[in-house]
Structure formats: C-alpha cells, structure tokens
C-alpha cells in the first residue's frame, strides 16, 4: 500500500528554508540542507562519485530506495529546474502543483515533470497512480507539506533535524493540529532522523 510521506530537513527552531534566494537565503539553505551534501548516497543521486559512507548516508539511501513519485511546489520547481539539468536527481515522475499549467516535460533517467493545476489532492492522486508499490514523497516546499497535512493526505512525516538554531527563515509547521506517533529515531552525524506516523 503506497504511503504519502512528507520528508524535510528542519532546524531545532523549526526552520525549513530561507525566505528568499539571496545571499543570506543561500547561507540558510546550506545551514539546513548542508548535512546532505557530503553523503555518498546523495552524491550518487546527483550523478557524482565519492562522498561519506555514514549513518546519514545510509538513511538517505534507504529513503531514496523507498520513494517513487514526488509531489513538489511551483516555487521549488522554478528554483531547482535550471540546476536539476537533463538527468535530474529524482529518477521518478515529479508532479508540480501550480496555478500555471504547461505540457509535461520528460527528462532522462526516469524523471518527468507533470504540472497539476487542480490542487494538492489531485497531484497526490496522480502520483499514487504511478507509484508502482513505492511511496510518494513530498519534499518541498513548506507550502506543499502544510497543504497536504491540512488536507489529511499524509501518512508519515520524516524529519531530518539539524542541530542548529538559525533564528530566521520559513517554519516548516506554522498552524494546524496533528497527532503523530514516533516509529523510528536514528542519530546520524549531521541530523537526527525522526519518522512519525500520522494518527
């Protein structure tokens, strides 16, 4: 049974990303996501050799093996698209929730971008339909995570908690009540990895 999973990195003060992609925004982005960059498994996804074989790297590899299609937001797409290139790191169908429809964009290595204008529930449904036994990943942005939680679409929340108070930026969670149950905690080198089922 395919699960729908929000999985994101967040600081101890609950920040998931910068407000804007300026120089300070990039510094904050690196503070929160930087634990991934040295990992062997993360580098492999990006088509790069080398990197650290660590607890964090194995957690990342397990997640990557588990997830098939992804649902992402328009802001994340617009920011990432030029960098993801012709063989993007998703290696699976990606559904972009947006108000501006456009034709599907196929890429190499299993990635395609499909633009869904009928909302988060429709995007999750389309992702489920092609999941083929894997789980559906919602990895950004913050708005996608909040919308999916508010709509009751989420089965699990995976938090990679980085050991920093950053004091500025966008909170992953800001409003709304959800009861969860912790089903796994793994202490890695660069983050504590907490996995929760939504009750």
Under the rule (CB under 8 A), what is the footprint of its own copies?
A: 12-14, 149, 157, 159, 161, 163-168, 171-182, 184-187, 192, 194, 196
With respect to its own copies, which residue has the nearer C-beta, 87 or 143?
143
State the distance between the two ends of the chain, measured CA to CA, in whole angstroms: 17
**Alpha-carbon span 83 to 41, nearest angstrom:** 18
With respect to its own copies, which residue has the nearer C-beta, 50 or 152?
152
With respect to its own copies, which residue has the nearer C-beta, 61 or 194?
194
Smallest distance from the beta carbon of 192 to its own copies, in angstroms? 5
Tokens of 60: 């990342």
Smallest distance from the beta carbon of 179 to its own copies, in angstroms? 6
Smallest distance from the beta carbon of 32 to its own copies, in angstroms? 12
Whether the Cβ atoms of residue 178 and residue 149 lie closer than 8 Å to each other: yes
Q: Which residues, including other chains, have CB under 8 Å from residue 144's CB and lie 6 or more apart? A: 71, 72, 73, 76, 97, 120, 138
Smallest distance from the beta carbon of 172 to its own copies, in angstroms? 8
């Amino acid at each position: 049974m395919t699960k729908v999973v929000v999985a994101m990195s967040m600081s101890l003060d609950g920040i998931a990303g910068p407000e804007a992609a300026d120089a300070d925004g990039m510094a904050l982005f690196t503070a929160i996501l930087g634990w991934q960059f040295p990992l062997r498994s993360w580098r492999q996804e990006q088509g790069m050799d080398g990197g650290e074989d660590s607890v964090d790297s194995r957690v990342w590899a397990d997640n990557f093996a588990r997830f098939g299609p992804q649902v992402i937001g328009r802001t994340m797409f617009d920011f990432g698209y030029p960098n993801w290139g012709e063989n993007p790191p998703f290696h699976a169908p990606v559904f972009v929730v947006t108000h501006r429809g456009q034709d599907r964009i196929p890429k190499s290595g299993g990635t395609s971008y499909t633009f869904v204008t009928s909302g988060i529930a429709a995007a999750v449904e389309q992702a489920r339909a092609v999941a083929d036994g894997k789980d559906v990943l919602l990895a950004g942005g913050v708005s996608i995570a909040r919308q999916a939680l508010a709509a009751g679409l989420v089965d699990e929340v995976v938090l990679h908690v980085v050991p920093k108070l950053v004091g500025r930026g966008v909170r992953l969670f800001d409003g709304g009540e959800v009861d969860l149950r912790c089903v796994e905690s793994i202490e890695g080198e660069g983050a504590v990895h907490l996995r929760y089922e939504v009750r």
